[in-house]
Amino acid sequence: MENTRNAIRQGLSANAEPFTGNSSYNLGGTQGFKYLRDVGIVDAFPLADYVLPGNKGSRHNRAAFFLGGYSVSYKVTYVDVNRRIAKVSFSVHNRSSIESATRPPGLGYTKFWISITNNLNTESGPTSNIYQNFNWNETIRF
């Protein structure tokens, strides 16, 4: 989310008008190793700062650990150039599946892993998809 906020700040610096955009947090393929950083496992490994780009020490992200990958849309609804603030509405949408619940980091969401878990998907019950939606507003300084 901080990358999304920074992208909004850059957009506000270039344009003082309301605008919309989209961003995502992807855990597919090798991006899945971010999962280890999110849960805090990498803090146990001294070389994690060098292995995981952007780790820079403890950066637990429990929300992303719970959600996994997600997409976010945002809308800048108000801009005050003099005070250098903007009001932004965020909306996160996520679908969790048995693939995301059982995937090993770096392997999840690959064709291979989906073929293994595909038979576990059900229309209802504990292995059915779960949909999460979160909406909130923030004031961002730029």
For residue 106, what pLDDT is reported?
A: 57
Amino acid at 101: A
For residue 79, what pLDDT is reported?
A: 94
For residue 67, what pLDDT is reported?
A: 61
For residue 87, what pLDDT is reported?
A: 97
What are the pLDDT digits (tens) for 82-112? 999 999 999 998 887 777 667 666 555 677 7
For residue 86, what pLDDT is reported?
A: 95
> What is the rounded CA–CA span in Å between residue 19 and residue 89?
11
Q: How many domains does the chain have?
A: 1
Q: What is the mean pLDDT of the chain?
A: 75
Which of the residues in the chain have pLDDT under 50?
42, 48-49, 52-53, 55, 57-58
Note down the domain range covering 17. 2-141
pTM: 0.65
